[in-house]
Structure 1
Amino acid sequence: MTDSAHLVTRYLDELDHLLTHADPDERADVLASVREHIEAALAEQTAQGRTPDVAVVLAGLGSPEQVAGEVRGRAPGDIGWVGTPGVVALGAQGGAAGLSAAWVPPVACLLLLIGGLGGFLIFPLVLWLGGAILLVASPLWRTREKILGVVLSPVGGLVALVATVAFVLPVCTTMVDGNGTVESQSGSCGTGVHVAAWVGLSLLALLVVFAIGYVVVLWRRGAARAERLSAPVTAG
Structure 2
Amino acid sequence: MEVLQRVKNYWTERSDTFGVNMFSESEKEYDKIWTEILEEKIALKSVGHVLDIGTGPGYFALNLALMGYQVTGIDLTPALLERAKEHAVRLKCDDKTQFLEMNAQSLEFEDGSFDVVVTRNLTWTLPSVEEAYIEWKRVLKPGGRLINFDSDYGAVSFIEQKKQFPHKAIDTKRSKECDEIKDCLSISQLKRPQWDINFLDSIGMKGVSIEDDVRKRFPKELNYERDGCPLFCICMEK
TM-score, length basis structure 1: 0.22
Which structure features the higher share of strand residues?
2
Which structure features the higher share of helix residues?
1
TM-score, length basis structure 2: 0.22
Highest Rg: 1 or 2?
Answer: 1
Higher relative contact order (CA 8 A, sep 6+): 1
